[in-house]
Chains A and B, each alone.
Chain A
Amino acid sequence: MGEGGLTHLAAVASPPAPPKTRRIPASGRRRKPILPRVWHFASFGAPGVLVYLCFVMAPILISFGYSLTNYNPFNPPVKFVGFDNYRLLFTDEQFLTALKVTTVLTLIVVIVPNVLGLGVALLLDRKGRLYNALRSVFFTPVILSSVVVSIVWSRLLDDRGPLDSLLRALGIEHPPGWLSDPDIALYSVASIVSWQMLGFCVVVYLAGLQGVPSELLEAAEIDGAGPLRRFRAVTWPLLAPSLTINTVVLLISAFKTYDYVKVITNGGPGSGATATIAFNVLQTGFDSNHVGYASAMAVLMLVVVAVVTTVVLNFLRRREVDL
């Protein structure tokens, strides 16, 4: 073998260096160019971002803009009034009443379906056809239109409706004015909203209950824990995420209650007995044409909902973390 042959061997043993182009990553796949990657993510995100900007952010910003004016589409010109609308809100008896009504309604709608929903879910957390059927029964109101529910309940609770007729037949000559007594009407409306939301809570709690490991419950039982202790020590802490979901959803739903009030009582009886903030916003904006003032109410409501929801969410999440 001559020198030339060695050279040839050396050439075979050490292959020529690759051409200086792009580096191939360790995985063996080529790194994609940055710009197409941005385009890739943008194409996924754009529709959502566009919808969010157009239908959430833009209306909020426009509303805030309106809230700083005296805008009335039927009484031009529009004038900038700064924070006057906000200042007026805090001396407006109707708005303060609406704030009170919304707070009471929210408290009821957050607490009642949560408590009853948990109870019903515990009862229905068993196997068998009957339980499946009962779950459907409890969930049915959730899928009904709130307007339909409102019409049906307003007929049932009417002074000459079946409930009062039954009470009269039982000897109660003057049944409560469910929708006509200003001191009762709000509780009636809140009960109707709670009734419809109950099924939602039941389903969420049932899902949570099915996620509780049976080994933990069995272990607790072996350790001598009774049903109540097992619920308190094992089930309830593990239901924390369900409680968070239910509370936040109910909180937001209750704050923006409009449809039930509009259909059942139209804000009455009388001046504002059941008028929520959302109801007042629509009335002020569309009936009285005071879009600027109504926008101030809407913005304030948004802030209140955001603050309350954030606080509640943080509190409930911390509880989940502490488990």
Chain B
Amino acid sequence: MRRSLALGAAVLLALGGCSVGSNTGGNGGDQEITFLTFETPNLTPAYWDAAIKRVTDKNPGIKVKKLVAPTADGRTSYAKQLLQSGQFPDVLIAVDSAGFAEAGNLYAWTPEELKDFQFPDANPVKGKYYQLPANTQTIPPIYYNKKMFADAGITTTPKTWAELEADADKLEEKGFPPFAIGGGKDGFPSSMILSGLVSTEVYTKVPDWLTQRRRDKVKFADPAFQTAFSKLADLAAKGYVDKTNVSRDYAATEQAFLDGKSAMYPMGNWFAANADTKKHDFEVGVFNFPTEDGKLVVPAYTGGGMIVNAKAAHLDAAKKFALGFQLDKDQLDASVKADGLFPAIKGYTPPGDVGPTFKAGYDLYTQAVQQNAVVHAFRWETADDGLLPGMKDKVDQAAQDVITGRKSVADACAFLDTEWAKAG
């Protein structure tokens, strides 16, 4: 009996020793923090390791334990799982703050801490700011194959929707599939065109459309949203968007464009990094998503930065690491080159040796900022002005339903309203 008790005690001690979250740090006075990252073809393990080292070298008292989300697209879901199992990391990057913030899990940054950021009031959650507004992403500009455009006799890039359709027609006639889209296990490449359409058509009239959707003042089934959505349906009906492409995952979609399988690729500006570094035998150009009347409108999302666990064992170390990571010039330069990001830091200018595709996209964005022509990027917002949790997938599904002809635009919009009601 005594032996059994001893065994039980040993098991309990062992379990106690294995528990997560002790975070006492290993080396002397080091304060250990956990940091959740994700990996993509751009953001490799080496990128993250170098980035962490850069910050910890400048802050020797901080030790960082890197965690990696199992999938890039599912990092927010993974963070939720970690939270529910009592393993919420101390610092997380590019994870939506919505939900976590309202439940009191995130540290709210002070205006003083946000003073170096260009858009400190991006992504408010009930008036507070939880995610560092670290960078801006334009979503989506349209990347194009200059050779195909030239071969189809297209000399200038389209500014209006009618011009885009006319160009798509010319490309199709020449035997070049106009648009590269994707889907499969990564839904977002299938809804990129829808994002552009809603941002440029709906948000120009109602800039806080999603905030109003949360108040039930507007609906997906409203004519404005349906009109924008129907343009995607038209492209699919004409065969400019190939419905068989919805089985392609993100990596395969990008590769298809780089392999010259399609003439245009609507994608976030992060694609520029790969366009400038990956092998392809044509020149990549980029133009702003066209609008109905040709007026300049650039959909963009500012955020994507770090959030910090309000209950972190070493909260000060976590905050210091997050700010150090997001404001370090060398790290910002590295993120520009690796992921094509536009750092939203006051006074920052990208390094002179960036690639031509990045530079072209950055110039388009800078002009839009100067002309005050930036709107939110539909589907990519993450705070009070964003979609309800779980709705991003539904938007991707609705886009796929319309592309494959499984649903009419009206049915797809009704589906979104039904799902919104369930998600609320």
Over the window 40-53 of chain A, the binary record of Cβ atoms lying under 8 Å from chain B Cβ atoms (1 yes, 0 no) is 00000000000000
Number of A residues near B (Cβ < 8 Å) is 38
B185 surroundings in chain A (CB, below 8 A): 154, 262-266
Tell me if B84 and A287 are in contact (CB < 8 A). Answer: no
Q: How far is the CB of B192 from chain A (nearest CB, A)?
A: 15
Other contacts beyond A75-B99, A290-B423: 7, CB < 8 A? A157-B247, A160-B261, A185-B247, A265-B185, A270-B404, A271-B398, A271-B400
Q: Secondary structure of the B side of the interface?
A: helix
Alpha-carbon separation in the docked complex, A315 to B234 (Å): 53
For the complex, is A200 an interface residue (Cβ under 8 Å from B)?
no
Tell me if A180 and B83 are in contact (CB < 8 A). Answer: no
Tell me if A75 and B247 are in contact (CB < 8 A). Answer: no
Kindly report which residue of chain B lies nearest to residue A43, judged by CB atoms: B4
For the complex, is B243 an interface residue (Cβ under 8 Å from A)?
yes
Over the window 246-271 of chain A, the binary record of Cβ atoms lying under 8 Å from chain B Cβ atoms (1 yes, 0 no) is 00000000000000001111111111
For the complex, is A178 an interface residue (Cβ under 8 Å from B)?
yes
Kindly report which residue of chain A lies nearest to residue B261, judged by CB atoms: A160
B415 surroundings in chain A (CB, below 8 A): 271
Q: How far is the CB of A79 from chain B (nearest CB, A)?
A: 15
Tell me if A271 and B184 are in contact (CB < 8 A). Answer: no
A159 surroundings in chain B (CB, below 8 A): 242, 244-245, 247-248
Name 19 interchain pairs, CB-CB below 8 A, sorted by A: A74-B100, A157-B247, A159-B242, A177-B244, A180-B183, A180-B247, A263-B185, A266-B186, A267-B397, A268-B246, A269-B247, A269-B404, A270-B400, A286-B77, A287-B77, A288-B389, A289-B99, A289-B389, A290-B390
The residues in A between 173 and 190 inclusive whose CB is less than 8 angstroms from any CB of B are 177-182, 185
Q: How far is the CB of B3 from chain A (nearest CB, A)?
A: 12
B367 surroundings in chain A (CB, below 8 A): none
For the complex, is A244 an interface residue (Cβ under 8 Å from B)?
no
Tell me if A288 and B423 are in contact (CB < 8 A). Answer: yes
A265 surroundings in chain B (CB, below 8 A): 184-185, 247
A-B interface, 3 closest residue pairs, ranked by CB to CB distance from nearest = A288-B390, A179-B247, A270-B401
The residues in B between 386 and 424 inclusive whose CB is less than 8 angstroms from any CB of A are 388-390, 393-394, 396-398, 400-401, 404, 406-407, 415, 418-419, 422-423
Alpha-carbon separation in the docked complex, A231 to B80 (Å): 55
Tell me if B406 and A182 are in contact (CB < 8 A). Answer: yes
Tell me if B80 and A289 are in contact (CB < 8 A). Answer: yes
Number of B residues near A (Cβ < 8 Å) is 43
For the complex, is B103 an interface residue (Cβ under 8 Å from A)?
yes
Alpha-carbon separation in the docked complex, A301 to B406 (Å): 27
B252 surroundings in chain A (CB, below 8 A): 158, 160
Alpha-carbon separation in the docked complex, A288 to B423 (Å): 6
A182 surroundings in chain B (CB, below 8 A): 401, 404, 406
Alpha-carbon separation in the docked complex, A75 to B423 (Å): 12
Alpha-carbon separation in the docked complex, A159 to B243 (Å): 10
Contact of B80 among A76, A154, A270, A286 (CB under 8 A): A286
Contact of A92 among B83, B84, B183, B422 (CB under 8 A): B422
* Residues of B bordering A, CB below 8 Å: 77, 80-81, 83-84, 99-100, 102-103, 183-187, 242-249, 252, 256, 261, 388-390, 393-394, 396-398, 400-401, 404, 406-407, 415, 418-419, 422-423
For the complex, is A284 an interface residue (Cβ under 8 Å from B)?
yes
Q: How far is the CB of B308 from chain A (nearest CB, A)?
A: 17
B77 surroundings in chain A (CB, below 8 A): 286-287
Over the window 145-189 of chain A, the binary record of Cβ atoms lying under 8 Å from chain B Cβ atoms (1 yes, 0 no) is 000000000100111100000000000000001111110010000
For the complex, is A272 an interface residue (Cβ under 8 Å from B)?
yes
Residue of A92, A178, A182 ringed by the most chain B CB atoms within 10 A:
A182
A271 surroundings in chain B (CB, below 8 A): 394, 397-398, 400-401, 406-407, 415
For the complex, is A73 an interface residue (Cβ under 8 Å from B)?
yes
Q: How far is the CB of B102 from chain A (nearest CB, A)?
A: 6
B389 surroundings in chain A (CB, below 8 A): 74, 287-289
Tell me if A180 and B100 are in contact (CB < 8 A). Answer: no
Q: How far is the CB of A297 from chain B (nearest CB, A)?
A: 12
Given contacts A74-B99, A159-B245, A178-B247, contact A269 B390 (CB under 8 A): no
